[in-house]
Amino acid sequence: MSDRLDLRRRLHEVAFRQAGYVSAAQALGVGYTYQAQKYHVDRGNWVRIDRGLFRLAEWPAAIDDGYARWTVWSDGQGVVSFQSAADVHDLGEFDLGDVHLTLPASRPATDGVVVHVADLHDGDIEDRASFRVTTAARTLFDLATTAVTQEQLTSAVGDALSAGSVTRGTLQRRMDAFGAAAALRLERALAALPQVNE
């Protein structure tokens, strides 16, 4: 195999895990110099998405592309969370303007993403094809700490219970760890929902 084909194969291996996105640092690590990166953008082989972020031009679009993009932006450390995770899990209805990511450390603000800083436990994270997302339970706990309305939170809890992605017991056991206000909001949500066999 020629060096050029091997280089392209290695780049595609990285892009495949990230819905076609690659960072400049990843491309450099594979073997594409900054000059080569500019060449591929100029030729239309790569699309410049943002500073230091590209997408292979031939990559097909998918519904979760935005989540993969911001995961690459975060150097793979970001976990889709809060309202964005509710969207992934189909819980409730929220304004989905910016993508919400939870990171272990703060990053400079940028348009299009809301960064939350927290250390997430492995049990609170699910792997998807090209990004990671908080579990349905962790998503509900996170939402309970925000300014979403009680009605929105109750709807999201109801959707999670109906889908079987959480149980009342799971929520009741852990809600106190997220503060008294969040626990009260979750208790209100549970009280407003009919009890079913879970």
- Strand-pair partners of 47: 55
pLDDT in tens, 150-159: 999 999 999 9
- Location of structure tokens 């964005």: 84
> Is residue 148 a contact partner of residue 157, using CB atoms and an 8 Å limit?
no
Domain boundaries, the chain: 3-56, 65-192
Q: What are phi and psi of 144, to 5 degrees?
A: -65, -20
Please check the confidence at residue 197 and state whether its pLDDT lies above 60.
Answer: no
* Per-residue tokens: 10: 């290695």
How far is Cα 73 from Cα 94, in angstroms, rounded to an integer? 23
Lookup result for tokens 């799971």: 170
Phi, psi of 182 (to 5 degrees): -65, -40
pTM of the model: 0.91
pLDDT of residue 21: 97
Residues 85-144: pLDDT tens digits? 999 999 999 988 899 999 999 888 789 999 999 999 999 999 999 999 999 999 999 999
pLDDT value for 194: 86
Work out the percent of the chain whose per-residue pLDDT is above 90.
Answer: 87
